Chain A
Amino acid sequence: MNAVPTKAINRLGELERAVMDQVWALGEAGEPSVSVRQVHEALLGSRDLAYTTVMTVMTRLADAGLLVKERSGRAHLYAAAGTREELTASSMLGQLQGLPSADRRAAMLHFLGDATPEEIADLKAALAEVEQRHGRSSGGGRR
């Protein structure tokens, strides 16, 4: 049975990445539009996978805007919606998710919010204070 290992892999989200890699690789090899079967066969070399699993993942990737679905006769073909860099940039700008930015922001816990130049200058002054307070040596400065 291949259901168990597939699930284990998918829990880590590794399959999404592997599928995108294959679509990009096939694109570079001169095939910008590929079928689920092509991706499935390319992935089979390295792992045990059900066809339907690959189909599900590709559908989700298309829904997320990373793949573009095209109809070719009776079958569907998929193409990458952009290079990794392009899609990453769009993703960081929130352009791939059709959510209000407040919703998207609430979904994540950011290390910090945005700062104006004045605030950054202020922060640097405050950093000097922290450094002085805890000794200049970095790392393990905690008593």
Chain B
Amino acid sequence: MLAALAVVLTALAPRLMARQQVFRREPRAALLGWQAVSLAALVSAVSAAPLAVHVLALGGAGWASWAAVPALVLSGLVLGRLLWSGHLVGTRLRAARREHRLLVDALGEAVDEEVRVLAHPTPTAYCLPGLRRRVVLTEGTLRTLPTDELDAVLAHERAHLRERHDLVLEFFTVLHQSAPPRLQVPKALREVRLLVEVLADRSARRVAGPVPLARALVALAGASHPETALAATADVGATRTRMALLAQDDAPRWLAPAVYAFSACVLAAPLALLGLALGSMGA
């Protein structure tokens, strides 16, 4: 049962959830839902094999106790793979950020503790998360954007930093990379990235209003920048989606509570199965 649940939660649920576009209108609840599904999948995957063996042994199958060792090894492998992937992803991210922060600090003009302006004509905006966080703009950005649009961009980046969206993304990246390749769902990772952007957009529109934010999106999209041209454009269409969301009504009232309830159920499922299995021990 748990093994089936693990597979469903790892492979099937993300595909289905990635298709539910209504979630995008309630990004905070949606991200929580995604985390619940991932955690539940993880709990199921780690506990499935040892529990199965345990139950069989209790059922009187004499050979089952011999299966305990491989079952534990399997769980160990799942856990080990996850920790190793977490270590790799985290180390690489932090090294890249440290290195880039040095460049930005040495070359950029400090506007305040966080914001650095680079002497470059191409408009762009990004942030470097972490304890010593930075928002990076260029002189081109300052020339291109009027004040209210600049406010929207800054509010967007500051929301990323304040709410530590990088940790959310890191969590999902680690899970994604540690899942067996066949069970990986790249679409889910893209959806989560989009949700993080939508969440930051909501902060930005509260600060600056939807119209300046929408204009800033167009203004910065129009100025192609060499850095992203080199990278794969995995998020083609993401900007269009964010624009469309700015023109939409707020999500229906029931949506957020529904997603929270769904998250709770998903998390409870493997725990309930665990409890059930352990309960049968006593019997």
Contact = CB atoms under 8 A, between A and B. Distances in A.
B231 A130 contact: no
Interface in B214-269: 214-218, 220-222, 224-240, 243-244, 246-247
Contacts of B103: 64, 66, 87, 91, 96-97
A87 B106 CA distance: 10
B243 to A, nearest CB: 4
A109 B108 contact: no
A115 B240 CA distance: 10
A120 B233 contact: no
Interface of B: 92-93, 96-97, 99-108, 110, 113, 118-120, 122, 124-129, 132, 134, 136, 138, 148, 153, 156-157, 160, 165-166, 169, 173, 196-197, 205-206, 208-212, 214-218, 220-222, 224-240, 243-244, 246-247
A104 B100 contact: yes
25 contacts: A13-B132, A14-B105, A17-B105, A17-B106, A20-B107, A64-B99, A66-B107, A84-B119, A97-B99, A102-B232, A103-B93, A107-B128, A108-B127, A108-B128, A111-B124, A115-B222, A116-B236, A119-B221, A119-B236, A123-B218, A123-B243, A127-B217, A138-B148, A139-B148, A139-B209
A14 B132 CA distance: 12
Given A88-B108, A129-B247, 8 more contacts: A64-B99, A108-B97, A110-B125, A113-B236, A113-B239, A127-B217, A138-B148, A141-B209
